[in-house]
Amino acid sequence: MAELSYASGVSDVPLLGDTVAAAFDRAVAAHGDREALVECVTGRRWTYRELAAEVTAVAAGLWAAGVRPGDRVGIWAPNRAEWITTQFATARIGAILVNVNPAYRVHELAYALNQSGVRLLVAAKEFKTSDYAAMVARVRPDCPALERVVLLDTPDWAELHSADPPPWPELSADDPINIQYTSGTTGFPKGATLSHHNIVNNGFFVGELCGYTERDRICVPVPFYHCFGMVMGNLAAVTHGACVVIPAPAFDPAATLKAVADERCTSLYGVPTMFIAELADPGFASCDLSSLRTGIMAGSPCPVEVMREVVERMGMREVSICYGMTETSPVSTQTRRGDSLELRVSTVGRVGPHLEVKVVDPATGRTVPRGTPGELCTRGYSVMLGYWEQPEQTAEAIDAARWMHTGDLAVMRDDGYLNITGRIKDVVIRGGENLYPREVEEFLHTHPDVLDAQVIGVPDAKYGEELMAWVRMRPGAEPLTAEALHAFCADRLAHQKIPRYVHVVEDFPMTVTGKVRKVEMRRQAVEVLGLGDADAVEHA
């Protein structure tokens, strides 16, 4: 009988029972004089002891403002030192930090503030073309729970500090401490509610598998508002006494490369599109990246060819691929430092310590044999408490046995390593045949002139759906035509997998976390290709 697609993460290292504040205190006690945080744009630096003093002052200020355990405090800002200060200050007093997407506009902002019941909001005054202060002023009359707004770079922030810390409340590691809103591609966003236990342990074990020590310096260009920055970055660093380096408020490839070189970073984070931009940056060759040994690529499937370049050209020999989702704090599987290049360029690793994963038939829920595609599910310490005040949506995502259903299609290999083959909702059904965009994307990355590729399904009157490739060309390359693509794919891909349409673009529609917005691509494609009539056809 074939072995089933189930695996559990055995570990000699026990789970931590810490709150976020306890984990931070341990780092301060052990590494007080070591550098904890560097903000490259301003040149500001903090040792762990200096950062602790700032965190204490802000926590005391929040307490003086009447914020108590369980109250919600929002943070709406790009990456900057005050984001991290607020993260650890709210954790000190047991307030639940609500991460607000920096890309939100007034409608989305009002929804997040009201749905979570934010009492106090820390917000940037402005960033790039976004006037945060004006948007907050617009929504404030419609947010009855919002009592106070603290704008950064104004006297508000200084006034939030207090030199008179109270006796800190006793907290439980199982208390909720963070609400992160999902992207909301269907309907309103849902607030994944995470506990101290969820995020402290996930940050710790991700760091363990990266081999972090107090000597590591982690360059974090991914947003703090997302688990990638806040947990895999900030908490992985704190639980190992490492240093967080903020290259810029928002992702900038040149600034990221400069930060790695100037600060001698040992680890670099990013989603695949970020690494692609760094590799293509005109100043790449002049940056000394010799300090890099590891890093994490996550957030969306990584093209194999891009991973090879990261290892070979950036020197990240121990780079790790992580897979997860906000609802699982976020990492469920990860490659290991000793893994072969083949494993680290072609899988998302194996189950993390103290976690379980399985692949099930989406129709029956039964675990499928290894090598068989199905829906990936995960269970363990990392699974969220639930969606904030949305019990029905929580029950749809987490079953009675506490398995989180990811919605991702996966195959578990005989060795327990996993391949993510797509989203259940991303499957393109052409004439009754299931086609998986990830497979076609991987193939398109082998084209010498293609820098990046994304494949979507678009409506078709005859087949129901057809494949469309969106491509970004390498500098100086001629735009790819549908005819040229067909010629490249002929005899190398089954005819039904060859995209019928090709659309050359400078950039893909992206979320702030660097994930490609395929829903938006499909909407644009219907307009560009004139497929409105086919899109209007109803299907059973």
pLDDT digits (tens, 9 = 90+) for 249-273: 999 999 999 999 999 999 999 988 8
133 vs 271, residue with greater confidence? 133
* Start-end of H helices in 44-124: 48-64, 81-93, 106-116
Confidence class of residue 186 from pLDDT cuts 50, 70 and 90? Answer: very low
Q: Quick one: pLDDT band at residue 535, thresholds 50, 70, 90?
A: confident
Q: Average of pLDDT values for 459-473?
A: 90
For the chain, report the end-to-end CA distance as a whole number of angstroms: 37
Q: Are strands 294-297 and 320-324 parallel, antiparallel or unpaired?
A: parallel
Instruction: Single out the residue of 390, 400, 381 nearest to residue 182, CA to CA.
Output: 390
Strand partners, 460: 464
Tokens, residue 78: 């790009």
Identify the band that residue 493 occupies on the pLDDT scale cut at 50, 70 and 90: confident
Q: Are strands 176-181 and 96-99 parallel, antiparallel or unpaired?
A: parallel
What is the structure's pLDDT at 442? 85
Contact 514, 300 (CB under 8 A): yes
Q: What is the pLDDT of residues 504-518, one digit of tens each?
A: 999 999 876 677 888
Mean local confidence (pLDDT), 476-488: 93
**SS3 label, residue 114:** helix
Q: Are 443 and 488 in contact (CB under 8 A)?
A: no
DSSP per-residue codes, 491-525: TTS-GGGS-SEEEE-SS--B-TTS-B-HHHHHHHH
What φ, ψ does residue 472 adopt, rounded to 5°? Answer: -110, 130
CA distance 207 to 351: 15
d(CA 22, CA 326): 23
Concatenated DSSP letters of 169-230: PP--TTSEEEEEE---SSSS--EEEEEHHHHHHHHHHHHHHHT--TT-EEE--S-TTSHHHI
Class of domain 427-536: alpha beta
The DSSP H or E segment spanning 87 is: helix 81-93
Instruction: Please choose, from the candidates 474, 125, 123, 111, the residue with its C-alpha nearest in 3D space to the C-alpha of residue 306.
Output: 474
The structure's pTM equals: 0.86
- Please count the helices (runs of H) and the strands (runs of E) in the chain: 18, 26
Fold held by 20-32+47-171? Rossmann fold (3.40.50)
> Using one digit for the tens of pLDDT, what is the confidence trace for 103-119?
888 888 999 999 999 99
- Tell me the mean pLDDT in the region 12-31: 98
Are the beta carbons of 240 and 214 closer than 8 angstroms?
A: yes
Distance CA 189, CA 191 (A): 7
For residue 538, the model assigns a pLDDT of: 47
- The C-alpha atoms of residue 181 and residue 327 are separated, in whole angstroms, by 10
The DSSP letter of residue 251 is -
Contact assessment for residue 240 and residue 207, using Cβ atoms and an 8 Å cutoff: yes
In what helix (H) or strand (E) does residue 157 lie, and over which residues does it extend?
helix 155-160
pLDDT of the residue at 494 = 78
Residue 92: what residue type?
A: R
Convert the pLDDT of each residue in 196-228 to its tens digit.
999 999 999 999 999 999 999 999 999 999 999
Domain locations in the chain as residue ranges: 20-32+47-171, 427-536
- Indicate whether 401 pLDDT > 80: yes
Query: Does residue 387 have a pLDDT over 80?
Result: yes
Q: Are 344 and 307 in contact (CB under 8 A)?
A: yes
Average pLDDT, the chain: 93
Per-residue model confidence (pLDDT) at position 432:
67
Percent of the chain with pLDDT over 70: 97
Highest mean pLDDT among 3-7, 187-191, 461-465: 3-7
Say which range, 13-22, 299-308, 459-468, has the weakest mean pLDDT. 299-308
pLDDT at 539: 40
The pLDDT of residue 47: 98
Q: What is the mean pLDDT of residues 186-200?
A: 88
d(CA 377, CA 445): 29
Q: What does residue 131 show for φ and ψ, rounded to 5 degrees? A: -95, 85
Q: What average pLDDT score do residues 334-362 get?
A: 93
